[in-house]
Structure 1
Amino acid sequence: MIFSHSWSQIFTGETITLRCEIQGGEGKVWKYEWTAPNTNSPPTSSEYRISRVSVSHSGDYRCRGSSDYLLTGWSDAFRLTVSFPSKPTVTLQPSWTQIYSGETVTVRCEIQGGEGAQWTYEWRAAKLNTPPTSNEYRIIRATESDSGGYSCRGRRDYFFSEWSDIITLTVSYKPKAKLRADNTAVPVGGSVTLTCSVSPSSSSGWKYYWYRDEKSSEALTTQDAVFHSNGQISVSQEGLYRCRGGRGNPVYYTEDSQSVRIGKTVTASNWPVVTLYPNWSEIYRGETITVRCEIHGGDTEWDYEWETNSRIKAPNQNEYRIRSASSSNSGNYRCKGRMKSSQHETTEWSDSVTLTVSDNVHSAASLTVSPDRVQHFTSDSVSLTCEGNFTEWRVRKFSEDGRLYSDCRRMTGSTCDINTSKSDTAVYWCESGSGEFSSAVNITVQNDGNGPILVSPVHPVTEGASVSLSCSLRTQKILSNVFFYHNDKLIQNDPRGELKISAVSKSDEGFYKCQYSGRESAQSWMSVKVSLIIILLLLLYRCRQSKCKSLFSVIIIVIISISIDIDISLSICHG
């Protein structure tokens, strides 16, 4: 008996032919008999053809022939095994569903149990105008257009397997490695840990390569650093470090990370200390305080760095003056010094000092603005934050055209984020769910992208406090040769970088504007407020002069029980 196919595996639905041949019986007319499973009427010819074979056709097949009075013996049994075809599977090599432009990946179709069969493959893919007929599809130098779902099926003669499940391949732009340092200065006798990573974190298979200094193209070795298994190294040598990731064969590299400067800590004889002036660790909203970094030991000149978890970051100067403090200034403050003569050498970080800014007793609701200024350029990002012991907030505004708006377009929690446009020029205030209101603030958006803006405080300035006004361009934050005007009068006929008022008085209240290179900013109103305690002390003095004993007692009680500020200037809008 001869099987007409060379396949060792037969699947349901295929067509097969068994042939009975009698060796040496040529020239005779033979009649054939068959024994076969699951059939009552086998054929009498030399061929046994089964169309659309099923599992029930599995079993042993035999044949014999007869001619006149001659009868052959039964042939050896031919065992036929019919099975259901396995569902194909699409695999990736390497097995990364997230790859990047320029990488190479192979998409492979596998049919379990179909090994040795002569399959022709069909593909469904995002970019295949002329799909291959082999079981592999190799993508060389992948692009974003290769992203999508891939599935396959097998074909043998007229038989088709079912389609595989879809596997989704994502091709993204070439990634850039990210470098983090747990410290930017090597402590005396110690090391700094650097961490390199590639986003998204779901991408895998990366090895990391480290470099020091801009011109170095040779990766660091174990002689230069201590290598850890999680993309980290420890270094004890100063320098400019960068990293990149690589994977695959040949190696595919990410873009280099941004460089991080690692300096060297100076000796312990120089130590920084953070101090507060006045020395109050808890202050109230609206007060003024200075956070100062002092480095003891030696007379070296220093540049300063600050680290704080407050929502408003400190500038890199030895003093950080907080005017009209808000809860956004609450947090821990620490500093360190960097030698001006050698930027690679720094002190250790100072101990942290905690500053707490509490609401005034009368302030049920308050509004803070970041950046803290009245005027802004178009497309600036401005945050209005409502503060107080309430869970529900909304920011309201009264626009230039006289319309009242009740909701912020982008409100996250208690913060309203604005990407400024001319229509955002308005008066803003916060309102709690229970109807408490904050003081209102004025915001002006400069429509002229080339003109300057005046940098002035949003909230009223307390009488006796200091204040600085400056002028800024969109492309240049700090300007010199600026003229300042108060109520349209030139303050001094000489240009300067900023207008400093060391002790604000009520006469300083009014409209201010700046002029730079012949272009003027819009004008903004600066309010000046006095402390209620000053008013009460004046009343106390007058009362003592006139010997009004009962009112004297009341004023003393009021002075003891009240420590609040009121804004006696009710001018909010221009004019």
Structure 2
Amino acid sequence: TVPSKPTVTLQPSWTQIYSGETVTVRCEIQGGEGAQWTYEWRAAKLNTPPTSNEYRIIRATESDSGGYSCRGRRDYFFSEWSDIITLTVSYKPRPVLTVSPSWLSPGASVTLNCEVEHPSAGWSFYWYKAVPDLSEKSSSYELLPDGSGTAQDSYIIHGQTHTAGYVCRAGRGDPEYHTDHSQPKFVWSADVHSAASLTVSPDRVQHFTSDSVSLTCEGNFPEWRVRKFSEDGRLSDCRRMTGSTCDINTSKSDTAVYWCESGSGEFSSAVNITVQNDGDGPILVSPVHPVTEGASVSLSCSLRTQKILSNVFFYHNDKLIENDPRGELKISAVSKSDEGFYKCQYSGRESAQSWMSVKGADSSSSPVWLMVGLVCGVSLIIILLLLLYRCRQSKCSCFTRWIQSESHSPGSSTNHGVNQDETHEHNSVHPGTDEPREVTYSLIKLQNLRKKKKHHKAEQSAVYSEVKTGAAEDSLMYAEVKQPKKEKAKKNKGTSSPAADAAVYSEVTSGSSLSQ
């Protein structure tokens, strides 16, 4: 029986491998099982091919790249040569990490994607957070929760609030082969409530070439470094660092995102800096940090030699704001709709555009306003009490009205003829003095507010209250209360109830003595 044509297989089955990986090349002859075969191999590197059906490449290098084929020999019989299978060995790969979004709204979710050259070739992924290490002038990598050997090439971080750096790497095979770590990628937050912060002087996004710009790190940390991520994707440290301040003499290459890193691994908020390459063109003067909703902001346009005061047009997201040239764009109360890209135009020349971020109002100030409200409320009560006390001293009518608005005195023993559902009875109290008794009458009219089909003239009764205080002489006050009686009026108009007006006296003794 003539066996079939041999086949070369790879284990693992990847034709693209990387330096350092291990792969086994195997020759299989269908129909030749049980026979005593010896094998011949053709390979660029094989000067003395093995005679077994397997060829194992340990820690492959680029020189192991090439085509592999085999044939079998049994006594004097030779099989055909197999088809050639090509193996490619490349340098150890470095995956590419992307983050989305790169500029963060605090509390949002961030998605990391790790891309390897051959994504279908059995990779698993590892996810790390970059932690600054100022002593080594580098960063260490801290494995993220559940970030070890995930099958998916993406990883989601929920509730991200501050600037942070991330890296990834991939692994495959048994024993597992790992790629290099990716270049770190950053998600930047402009939130200024982190433990570290960055200030820029002068406080604007855009600068002219050769401007002197200072970036200062602030926070309770002894060590700092300022880092930047350039437009070309390069990550570098500040070259002129004095204490916690980085000084820059700007050039076009300084257009980048900047942030601070502390010796204990804290990241500050990040800022954009743009350097104007055209020395004669204008720049937009706009704030570096986000503007709080409700706050006012002013944008202007400037030349290298002077601030432009007129004939300036401003654009928001490439749309002309108003066809009315002026020197400044003033927004009295910023809202979220004002967020976006701004640029200015002067004499037909435009500035670069810069993003103005708008953040929500700081809710942390509400306890302060609560305390202010409480203090104001207590102060108002004290003032009112002082005024009422003065009114009592001068026996002014305002005190009488106020005391009549209080609920009826607990010393009132009789409330005859009062409709409790519709009216309230009030007794006025005047403190006693050393003077002879004084009598004050106050007339209160109580009306029935309920609507009735027929209106009858209400009969009246009078209630008098005598109030005694703890002073040597008693001061008497009588309050006459007119009210509708509970009894139904007679059907004949103009007639009243046969009951005569009743006078009731109640004596109230006060437990304190106040001077008049």
Q: Rg: which structure is higher? A: 2
TM range (shorter): 0.3 to 0.5
Q: Which has the higher contact order (CA 8 A, sep 6+)?
A: 2
